[in-house]
Chains A and B, each alone.
Chain A
Amino acid sequence: MNIFRLAGDLFHLISIFILIHKMTTSKSCSGISFKSQALYLLVYVTRYLDLFWTFALYNSTMKIIFIGSSAYVLHLMTGPFKPTHDPNIDTFKVRYLIGGAAILALLFPYKWTPAEVLWTFSIWLESVAILPQLFMVQRTGAAETITTHYIFALGAYRALYIPNWIYRYLTSTFWDPLSIIAGVIQTVLYSDFFYIYYTKVLQGRKFELP
């Protein structure tokens, strides 16, 4: 464990808290992409299969929180707050993301075992899972401030993992090119969003695309 990874994980927790807080206080999931949320649940379920055969207090607890909160968000979106979700603006074609991640996972896993292939699939899928959400924001041209805080916190999580990987490489405990490439791609996808977030939201203005 190092400070970057811990901070990254905390940002991840904060993003989930912001998302659930937004939905339960406003009793609405408007502006949130159901498709991105469904992809995240798929990411967590396929990556954290090792809950069944490994236990570490910190990691196992976080894994259960991520799977559980993700399932809870989907429950809110399909149950109580379903009327506030507009599928007409959530139209990103996720089959290409799932298909692409599946192909990469089958071609280049570290080992050809079901658990390793699913783990690799989850790494690639996570790197692009935010795209339906960003696409939705782009389509509507604006987002609620709370939604932008959520996207920022989620992006900051993977961005903070990059210095963590550099640190682990330098202390030579860890060198996983797959995670690193996917993590960098994931952070790059957020870069436009980060820029607008810094220049607009943090100066107290509304998130609106130029």
Chain B
Amino acid sequence: KVGVNPKDEL
């Protein structure tokens, strides 16, 4: 899952 950032953080 490297580089798959769900962008669910602040």
Binds B, one of A76-84, A133-141, A169-177: A169-177
Complex contacts, B1 vs chain A, CB 8 Å: 172, 174-175
A161–B7 CB distance below 8 A: no
Main secondary structure of the interface of B (DSSP, over half): loop
Residue in contact with A66 in the complex, picked from B2, B6, B7, B10, CB distance below 8 Å: B10
A5–B9 CB distance below 8 A: yes
Main secondary structure of the interface of A (DSSP, over half): helix
Complex contacts, B2 vs chain A, CB 8 Å: 175-177
Whether a CB of chain B sits under 8 angstroms from the CB of A12 is yes
Complex-state Cα separation, A5 to B8, whole angstroms:
11
Whether a CB of chain B sits under 8 angstroms from the CB of A103 is no
- Nearest CB in chain A to that of B10: its residue: A62
Q: Could you tell me which B residues sit within 8 Å of A by CB distance?
A: 1-10
